[in-house]
């Protein structure tokens, strides 16, 4: 068996009341794929370097969250929020009539996987969380951020159709890298830029970011410790793989109780730490793939019809043919001996 190719994909558009959800379906499109969800202010390009390391018998459907990448923006006056983002999973399932879903998420995407698995555990068969697992936990910092978002949201929502600040493409790389706290190096920024920039109408040699500015100030679900514990307890016996980046603090001591509950009631729970920053799956995909690939092969193995034994099937078929011939020949000899 081989691995997926970035060139083997189909661009998809999934209907939504406000427009569409854009996606890119890699590999096998005859079976239910892994649904991959990117992080805050990113897009599906975040999985570009990881996709070619995943087994090719499975498909992977990567989507852009609303307001990100090539997906539609919410209507004017609406605010992005974690609850609506989590419902995107249900919308995709409904579109393709999936009875279950296999989830992989980075950062915000990892939190959305946790939220959805807690809300509808009977529909989730596995979760892969890349450097984040929980929604925000209530604290004094949370209320400060929320207060700041209220004022800034009103400013950006009234910006209208004016063209945002423009940059040369090389400058865009640096801007994106700085915006990720240097988690995405400039030399890898193009994986996210190709779905998030447009050419300026006024400056032919410059580009601007196309993601909805309102996504910077989305209303995210904040949960207290008892609620997180209750949500974790609802995710029973679900294969759950968590990969933490060593230089990131997105998974910290606040997640200890949730991790303990998940580990206790999930016989196939895995937790691994790999060296790297928050976007380790993009920068060092091989470090993540060493855990993701065997996890997928174990919990989403290839269908029997797709197994390949490198020629063994032909050998077995020939043996069966020879055995049949031998039995037939023996039968003829037995009949002749009675004549």
pLDDT tens digits for range 204-240 = 899 999 999 889 887 776 788 899 999 999 999 999 9
Q: Is residue 188 part of a domain?
A: yes
pLDDT over 50 (residue 318): no
Predicted confidence band at 157 (pLDDT cuts at 50, 70, 90)?
low
Polymer length of the chain = 339
Question: Which candidate in 107, 177, 196, 248 is catalytic?
Answer: 107
Predicted confidence band at 98 (pLDDT cuts at 50, 70, 90)?
very high
| Element spanning 272, H or E | strand 269-274
Q: Is residue 220 part of a domain?
A: yes
pLDDT over 50 (residue 261): yes
Q: Is residue 318 part of a domain?
A: no
Percent of the chain with pLDDT over 90: 71
Instruction: Give the burial string for 193-218 (b: 16+ CB within 10 Å, else e).
Output: bebbbeebeeeeebbbbbbbbbbbbb
- pLDDT tens-digit profile of 279-296? 999 999 999 999 999 999
**What is the pLDDT of the chain when averaged over all its residues?**
87
Distances (CA, A) of 240 to 40, 259, 294, 328: 21, 10, 13, 53
CATH number of the domain at 287, please.
3.40.50.1820
Q: Is residue 312 part of a domain?
A: no
Q: Is residue 324 part of a domain?
A: no
Q: Is residue 329 part of a domain?
A: no
pLDDT over 80 (residue 321): no
Q: Which is more confident, 22 or 79?
A: 22
Q: Is residue 185 part of a domain?
A: yes
**Least-confidence region, from 107-111, 201-205, 279-283, 319-323:** 319-323
Q: Which two tokens stand for residue 300?
A: 């989403």
Q: What is the spatial distance between Cα 114 and Cα 243, in angstroms, rounded to a whole number?
A: 14
pTM listed for this prediction: 0.86
How many separate domains does the chain show?
1
Question: Domain of 147?
Answer: 9-306
> What local confidence, expressed as pLDDT, does residue 79 receive?
84
Distances (CA, A) of 147 to 59, 151, 155, 215, 217: 42, 7, 13, 16, 10
Highest mean pLDDT: which range of 64-68, 152-156, 202-206, 215-219: 64-68
- pLDDT, average across residues 96-116: 97
Catalytic-residue membership of 107:
yes
Q: Is residue 321 part of a domain?
A: no
């Amino acid at each position: 068996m081989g691995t997926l190719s970035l060139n083997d994909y189909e661009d998809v558009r999934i209907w939504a009341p406000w427009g569409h959800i854009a996606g890119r379906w890699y590999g096998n499109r005859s079976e239910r794929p892994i649904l991959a969800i990117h992080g805050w202010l990113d897009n599906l390009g975040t999985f570009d370097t990881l996709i070619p390391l995943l087994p090719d018998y499975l498909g992977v459907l990567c989507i852009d969250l609303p307001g990100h990448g090539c997906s539609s923006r919410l209507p004017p006056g609406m605010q992005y929020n974690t609850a609506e983002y989590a419902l995107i999973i249900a919308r995709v399932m409904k579109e393709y009539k999936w009875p279950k879903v296999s989830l992989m998420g980075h950062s915000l995407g990892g939190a959305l996987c946790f939220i959805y698995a807690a809300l509808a555990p009977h529909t989730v068969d596995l979760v892969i969380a890349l450097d984040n697992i929980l929604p925000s936990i209530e604290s004094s910092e949370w209320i400060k951020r929320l207060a700041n978002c209220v004022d800034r949201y009103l400013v950006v929502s009234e910006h209208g159709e004016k063209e945002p600040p423009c940059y040369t493409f090389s400058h865009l790389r640096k801007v994106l890298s700085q915006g990720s706290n240097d988690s995405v190096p400039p030399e890898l920024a193009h994986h996210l830029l190709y779905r998030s920039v447009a050419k300026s109408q006024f400056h032919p040699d410059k580009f601007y970011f196309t993601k909805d500015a309102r996504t910077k100030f989305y209303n995210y679900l904040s949960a207290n410790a008892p609620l997180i514990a209750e949500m974790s307890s609802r995710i029973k016996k679900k294969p759950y793989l968590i990969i933490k980046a060593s230089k990131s603090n997105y998974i910290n001591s606040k997640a200890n109780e949730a991790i303990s509950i998940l580990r206790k009631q999930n016989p196939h729970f895995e937790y691994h730490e790999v060296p790297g920053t928050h976007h380790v799956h993009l920068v060092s995909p091989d470090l993540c793939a060493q855990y993701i690939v065997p996890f997928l092969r174990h919990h989403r193995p290839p269908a029997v019809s797709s197994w390949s034994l490198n020629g063994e099937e032909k050998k077995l078929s020939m043996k069966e043919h020879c055995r049949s011939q031998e039995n037939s020949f023996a039968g003829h000899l037995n009949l002749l001996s009675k004549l």
